[in-house]
Amino acid sequence: MVLTYATRRSALALAQSRALVEQFVRAWPHIQVNEEQVVTTGDKIQDRPLSEVGGKGLFVKEIEEALFERRAHFAVHSIKDVPGVVPPGLTLGCIPRREDPRDALVSPAYGSLAELPRGASVGTSSLRRAVALRAVRPDLAIVPLRGNVDTRLRKVDEGQCDAIVLAAAGLARLGLLHRATEILDPERCLPAVGQGALGVECREDDVQTRQWLLALHDEQTSRCVRAERGVMIALEGDCKTPIGAFAECLEAADGSRHLRLRAFVSQPDGSLLRAGERRVAWPVSDDEAEQLGDDLARELVSRRG
């Protein structure tokens, strides 16, 4: 049996896809898996912020076409790149166990966010990161920075900015976590929806592939990501909207567990910043997790006035 999966061809996309496929082959050793590399619109446009050129779908559209055209059986995405609603005929076949969801600061000269001097420049292409950073350090100069991980690391090493902020998971998957100067606590920099998690997409009618993919599914990660995506869907979020959302399953001293969801949303310039939190007893279903996100999002919207 031979299956083909589709992936972006960036170093990070290949690293995370191939690591997942290794797990797949261990679960199903009788299956041979081939790779189809796809260059997406988001990969082609590197000179403008994502908020100016179309947002999340830029990194998945061409990959989804490979599924529709049956050139691939499944596709591996960073789930934070996947829009809230997947196209009819496709589905998320599994959400594997999540890597570190936090952001990481990289600075050749300074040891932490607190050590950056007043007026220091921090590179990021994320409105969400810009808003979160300004909330704790309004004196910083946030500068736009696109490119793959290696490109952004090179730019900070060359002194084009004093620091950059990247996903810790991306650095870890590339074997570059040692470059992180500081891992930013979610209390100060709330992660992006689904950050650190993968989403494996396939055709809805491909029952056999969906069954195979379930071997890689992680229920706890799935519930947390669905809660975060519930926030994004209710807020109709895209790359033009600064949204942070982070859900985690926590255990109390008495052994009880609950799902804690935190989120924020603001205007693109950081104004009208609203943050909130919801908790629900664990375990929860997919629908309950998404409803938790929807409820929190509606609370944030109601506080706009």
* Assigned domain for 61 exists: yes
Residues 296 and 229 occupy one common structural domain: yes
Q: Has residue 190 been placed in a domain?
A: no
pLDDT score at 59: 84
Q: In this structure, are residues 156 and 113 in contact, taking their beta carbons and an 8 Å threshold? A: no
Are 50 and 122 members of one domain? Answer: no
Domain assignment of residue 212, yes or no: yes
Print burial letters for 268-291: b (CB count within 10 Å at least 16), e (below 16): eebeeeeebebebebebeeebbbb
Task: Give dist(CA 50, CA 241) in Å, integer.
Answer: 11
Q: What is the pTM of this model?
A: 0.94
Residues 91 and 138 in one domain: no
**Residue 185 bears catalytic tag:** no
Which value, to the nearest 10 degrees, does the dihedral of the CA atoms of residues 157, 161, 162, 164 take? -80
Q: Which two tokens mark 142? A: 């946030």
**d(C-alpha 206, C-alpha 203), whole Å:** 5
Q: Give me the mean pLDDT over the 24-42 stretch.
A: 94
Cα torsion for 64, 70, 73, 74, to the nearest 10°? Answer: 0
Better-predicted residue by pLDDT, 58 or 182? 182
Residue 116 lies in a domain: yes
Structural domain boundaries enclosing 180 = 103-184
Residue 177 pLDDT grade (very low, low, confident, very high; cuts 50, 70, 90)? very high
Dist CA 283 CA 38 (whole Å): 37
Q: Which of 81, 100, 103, 162 is catalytic?
A: 81
Instruction: Between 8 and 50, name the one with better pLDDT.
Output: 8
Query: Residue 209 is encoded by which pair of tokens?
Result: 């592939």
Q: What is the CATH number of the domain that holds 163?
A: 3.40.190.10
**Same domain as 234, residue 154:** no
Taking only the tens place, the pLDDT of each residue in 101-127 is 999 999 999 999 999 999 999 999 899
Instruction: Write down the pLDDT at residue 6.
Output: 98
User: Within this chain, do residues 236 and 208 fall inside the same structural domain, yes or no?
Assistant: no
Mean pLDDT of 271-283: 96
Q: Is residue 192 part of a domain?
A: no
Other Cβ atoms within 10 Å of 75 Cβ, number: 26
CATH number at residue 240: 3.30.160.40
Structural domains in the chain (count): 3
3-state helix, strand, coil in the chain (%, to 5): 35, 25, 40
Please check whether residues 14 and 160 belong to one and the same domain.
no
Asked whether residue 18 falls in the same domain as residue 160, the answer is no
Residue 237's pLDDT is what?
79
Residues 85 and 120 in one domain: no
Question: In terms of domains, do 107 and 153 share one?
Answer: yes
